[in-house]
Structure 1
């Protein structure tokens, strides 16, 4: 029997490639030097104002390491500035005037992304976000590592 090539990891990577690739291209088409991964951080800063990397990690649900890497990329492109915090190890992230000036074009891109997402949801017959949220909630209740351990162990009560 042939092994399936359609594993969850492969399917998720293909989905992300489709989504991020198209959204990323929409930013290029709008004349923006901006990446899809910047959006959660930019929106958190718009909603909450200047804050620490740790707070951004909590607000976005993205790991501290990934937030730090993304902030570095955003700062290099002029979207955010970094200042020392009260603690020598702490850095405060803020949106730059450049970012605020670009906001109308970004909001146009976000509106188009929302409309395209609704179209995809209609084709699927349900919101993709709901499926992803349910999958994440199920894994929080019972991690895949636990499921793997259970699947790998001999059946209990078997003779």
Structure 2
């Protein structure tokens, strides 16, 4: 038997979301990329690993901080991703310039597949360009327009203003 809320319970605000469709769309597209890897028998690679693997291939071993900066992610996020890539056998750590530093490097397994990953990246970008040509308002234009709007007034400030008007927040 399903739980039912008391009659005076307000509606669930999470039932509506302007962003959920975008997250679901990206998830579905990532699942299609993962399916490409599975069909090609490329094991252990997630679509979210590919940028970092290609970056390490083209630039060589980097510290987590260097890698994070190069892909515009936080150190924490990259540290978790590197741990997952290490568990998949795609990267390892090697000594850095001094005894205290370590660098992330590709394993032989990753070096064997990185050219295929670069081909997939380029094919994916070409497919996205094709999709953008089919629609009246390309996502890349949407992103640029949102960035301009946020330069005029930050997302933080917009949320804070709405919260200041909501008695539940104060």
TM-score bucket of the superposed structures, by smaller chain: 0.7 to 0.9
Structure 2 portions without partners, runs of 5+: 1-10, 166-170
**Shift of residue 58 of structure 1?**
0.7
Question: Greater helix percent: which structure?
Answer: 1
Alignment of 1:5-154 (within 5 A): 5-33=15-43, 34-85=45-96, 86=98, 88=100, 90-136=101-147, 138-139=149-150, 142-153=153-164
Q: For residue 122 of structure 1, report the CA deviation from its aligned partner.
A: 1.5
Which SS does the other structure have where 2:103 is aligned? Answer: strand
Deviations 1:52-92, CA, capped at 9 Å, x for gaps: 0011111101121111111112122222111243253x420
Aligned-pair CA distance for 1:136: 4.3
**TM-score, normalised relative to structure 2:** 0.74
Q: From the superposition, tell whether residues 44 and 133 of structure 1 become closer, same or farther in structure 2 (CA, over 3 Å).
A: farther
RMSD: 2.6
Q: What is the alpha-carbon distance in structure 2 between the residues aligned to residue 68 and residue 30 of structure 1? A: 28
How many residue pairs are counted as aligned between the two chains? 152
TM-score with structure 1 setting the length: 0.79
